[in-house]
Structure formats: structure tokens, C-alpha cells
Structure 1
Amino acid sequence: MRHSTALHRTPAAELPVDVRLLNASASALFLLAAAIFAALLMLWLSRQPVFAIRAIRVEGDLARNSVSTIRANALPQLAGNFFTLDLARGQRAFESVPWVRHAIVRRVWPNRLAVQLQEHRAAALWSQDEGGDKLVNTEGEVFEANLGDVEDDGLPTLSGPDGSAGQVLAMFRRLAPLFARQELAMDALSLSGRGSWHAEFDSGAEVELGRGTDDEMQARVERFLGTLPQVIARYQRPLVYADLRHNEGYAVRLKGITTTLEAPASGRRK
């Protein structure tokens, strides 16, 4: 009669405590060794010359900068290779280049960077009381750049309290076309700290617009322009100054003549 012997594994829960601790320690050591090995491997790989940044591809609609100028300004601020380069720092480096509004920096395997740039589009000069004029872009954001770059662009001059550039630009865009219909080219618009508007024109004329909502300002200007051509035709003198802050009318100074007119009501001129 033959007998067979079966081998049975002892459940982990039935192992002595010291054996279970030994197994756990061995597993932990193995995982730690694997992690250290992986870290050392990555460190070794990251230091290989093949991963040094070899090329930077710059894309975007560039009008104020050349690719070579952008690289020359940004490259000295970049540090690291494909693995270690701080993309956020790289973004700041490219956005520090004059005229660059926004930059997106991406890694391209194994040793390149791709940079997508958006430039500022200047809409106006931004005048400051303390000097050091800046620019306003088409989004209503104030930025710094060489003003000599736009000296031939015929940009209007805007001014106002800190943080009001977007509001002033929006008002300029709303009112300038109205005046242009009367051949008055607005080249400056300012907003006071008390919320009062003042416009200047390339002819040298000035208009005090007063305070009010955007709609109120537009309506006030339209009423004024509704009678101005007749006044100019009557006296055959160019406009020098107008004050629209009167409730029932406005004051006008033509060259050599000063008068006060009633504002038209219900579409009728008084």
C-alpha cells in the first residue's frame, strides 16, 4: 500500500509574527530598491546629451518681432533639458519679450520645444500723469513697449484711473465714429477720477462730455452733432470748444464766437 504526502502552504495569517514582519520588510526593501533604481535611471537619462534642448520652434502671427529676436531675448532665461526645463518659467521668459502678450511652451520629444506666441495689437497710447506712457492693446490691456515702434501708426491717446483702460477704449470706439461723421477726428479721450469724459480732436478742438452711462454719453453726443453742422454753417467758423454738461443745452465756442444753444428735444431743434 502506497502513501502520498501532500505539501500545504501555511496561510500568511498562521505564520509566526516574526516571519510576517520579515516578509513585509523584504517587500518594502524591494519596492524601495526599485524606486531608487528608477530614480537613478531617470537621473542618468536626464543628464544624457541627447536630451539637451537642441531646437525651439516659434509659431504665431508675428508682426513686431522676428523669431531670432525672440530667441535672443528668451533663451538666456531658460535652464535645463527636455526633462528638467520648467515650462512655467519658460512661458514667463517668452512673455517677457517686448510685444509678446501670451506664450504656450510645449516639449517635443526628445530634445525640442514648441512655442506658440500671441503678440499685442496696439490700439492706443496710454498716458500717465507720472510720465512713462504705455500702450493699450485691442483687448483693453495696458502693456509696455518701445513707443518708437508705433510713432507712425497714428494711434489715439487715452488716459484714466488705474484699471480703466478697457472702459476708456470701449468709449472711444463708441464715440469716435459718431464724431467722424462730422469730420471730427478724435485723437484723445480721457476719463477723470470723478467719471467725467473729455475729448480732443486733431483740429485742436476740445469737447467736455460730462458724466453718464455709455448710452447716455452716446445720446448726448448725437444730440450735439445733430445741430453742430448748422451752427458751423451759420457762422462759418471752425469748432474750438464745446461743453455738453448743461442739462438743457450746450455751450459752443467757435473761432472768435462763443454761444449757448438749447439741446434738441423729441428730434426737433430749438
Structure 2
Amino acid sequence: MAFQKKRRRGATSLKREPADGLQRWKTVWGPPLRWLGVLLVVAAVGYGVQIGSERLREPGAFPLRYIQTEGEWRNLVKADVHAVAEAYIGQNFFVANLDELNTALATNPWIETVAVRRWWPDTVEISLRERTAFGYWGEREMVDVNGVRFQPTIVRQAGPWPRLVGPDGHEKALIEAYRQTRALLDPLGLKLIRLVQDERRAWWLTFENGLDVRLGREQFAQRLQRLAQIYPRLLAPQIDRIAVVDLRYLNGFAVRWKAERPAPLAG
């Protein structure tokens, strides 16, 4: 008959102590060691990124070699753009300050909008929109189709350009008045080349055939319409002898003749 040794209640087996000790060690040191491992990995990655970033930014690394331009131009040429952008050739692809290049290009009066981008691995891409000129403003400036005045150093697009003169802030009004006049009088052979609104807001018109017309400050459209009505029948037959037509009168007009004066016209 076999006898089994009875274990006393509360006793602990000596064989389980090593396993329990290892478990306690893992419980105490496991989380700190895991965090230490994570920190070491992060530090290694950060160090690698720093070294890589420094190498990427070395002056001789990844040089820019080409300039690519886009846009439809009439008064700009590639030399205008390359003269500014070539200073960036040879600079590091990642370090070159293209915002400065953008700002430098935008100082050209003919450039309305500009966008500069990097194109991997060695190209600067420049997209330009040239300002669309409408005509001259005064003696030295030009005005674009949006009523913005600018002062170009060179005009390559062939004219002739209309000349507008007026108060500051009236650019769009003069452009609209010019278009309105051309639409009404071009079919009659009267081509407007100069439109003036003086300080008193009075209108002066000069046509390609040398005729000057005074419209005054009021009723621009109505007086322009009156000119269209009287020109073919009363003015055109003697246009070479007429210097000025004055339409500031309520129901008529006056004519100032050139040096040789024929019989007066009925107004």
C-alpha cells in the first residue's frame, strides 16, 4: 500500500521560485526596457535623418541645372526671365530660395502673375502670365485691360496703341468710354486714337484723321450719338478743313476751322 506525503497548507514549492522570480523581473524591468528600446530607435532614426538632411543640403549636392519656362508672351522674351533665374543655376535643389526668385521676377512690369516650382531632379519651372496691355496712359505709363497702370522699360508688341489721359482711379471708366466710342464710330471711318478726361471731368476725343471733338462733362453717350448722326452728312465732306467740333451745346454743335476757312456749317 502506497502512502502519499501530505503537503501542509500554505507551503510553497522550491521548484517554482525561479519562474516566479523571472516573472517579477519582467514585471518590474520590462516596461522601462521597452521604452528604452523605443527611445534608442527614435534616437537612431533622428540621427540618421539629421545626417541625411545635412548631406542633402550641402552646397555642391543636387545642383539645379535647367530653367523651364511656360506661358504665352508678346512683350516678354526668355532672356528677360533667364537673366534673373540664371543666378540660381548650380544652387542646391533643396536649399535654393525660390521665393526670392519669384519676388525678383514679379518686379518685371510685364509680368502679371508668376509661379516658381522645383522639378526633380535638377529643374526650376517658371510659369508666367504676361500682362495684357490696353494702351498708353499719359506720357510714360501704360494701362492693362483690367485698368492697372504700369511702366514698362520696353514694348515689343507692335502698335498702334491708344492713348488715354485721365484722373487717378478713372482707368476703367476711360477704357470703357474708349471701347464704346470705337464701337459706335469705327463703322463711320472715325478711328479714335486719344481719349482725355481732364481735371474738370470734361471729355476730349482725337481721331486718326486729325479731328478733335469736345464733349464736355455731361451726357457723354448722348453727345457721342449726336456726333455719329451729324458726321456722315455734315462733317465728313469737309473733314480735311475741320480742326475741332464742339458738342457741348444743348441741341447743336460748333466747328472751328483750320487756317483756310470755308463757308460755315449749320449746327
CA contact (8 A) 1:179 1:185 kept: yes
Does residue 134 of structure 1 match 2:156? no
- What's 1:207 paired with? 213
Does residue 240 of structure 1 match 2:260? no
Question: 2-side partners of 1:101 and 1:79: how far apart?
Answer: 28
Q: SS at the partner of 2:75?
A: coil
Structure 1 residue 183: deviation in Å? 1.4
Does residue 178 of structure 1 match 2:181? no
Total equivalences in the alignment:
247
Structure 1 residue 234: deviation in Å? 7.5
Structure 1 residue 258: deviation in Å? 5.8
CA distances 1:133-178 after superposition (whole Å, capped 9, x unpaired): 122233332222245635x511111112234333322221121232
- What's 1:190 paired with? 196
Structure 1 residue 116: deviation in Å? 1.1
Give ranges in structure 2 of 5+ residues lacking alignment: 1-6, 8-12
Equivalent runs, 1:1-270 vs 2, <5 Å: 2=13, 4=16, 5-6=19-20, 7=23, 35=46, 38-47=49-58, 49-76=60-87, 80-97=91-108, 99-128=110-139, 133-146=140-153, 149=156, 152-212=158-218, 216-232=219-235, 238-255=241-258, 256=261, 261=267
Give ranges in structure 1 of 5+ residues lacking alignment: 13-19, 262-270
Q: SS at the partner of 1:51?
A: coil
TM-score (norm 1): 0.72
Deviates more, 1:25-34 or 1:188-197: 25-34
TM-score (norm 2): 0.73
Question: 2-side partners of 1:203 and 1:146: how far apart?
Answer: 30
Structure 1 residue 208: deviation in Å? 1.7
Q: SS at the partner of 1:184?
A: coil
CA distances 1:96-125 after superposition (whole Å, capped 9, x unpaired): 346333221111012211111222333211
Partner amino acid, structure 2, of 1:135 = M
Structure 1 residue 32: deviation in Å? 7.5
Partner amino acid, structure 2, of 1:201 = F
Q: SS at the partner of 1:52?
A: coil
CA contact (8 A) 1:160 1:191 kept: yes
RMSD of aligned C-alpha atoms? 3.8
Report % sequence identity. Answer: 25
Question: 1-side partners of 2:131 and 2:93: how far apart?
Answer: 29
Partner amino acid, structure 1, of 2:69 = V
Partner amino acid, structure 2, of 1:121 = T
Partner amino acid, structure 1, of 2:81 = I
Structure 1 residue 189: deviation in Å? 0.7
Question: 2-side partners of 1:67 and 1:147: how far apart?
Answer: 14
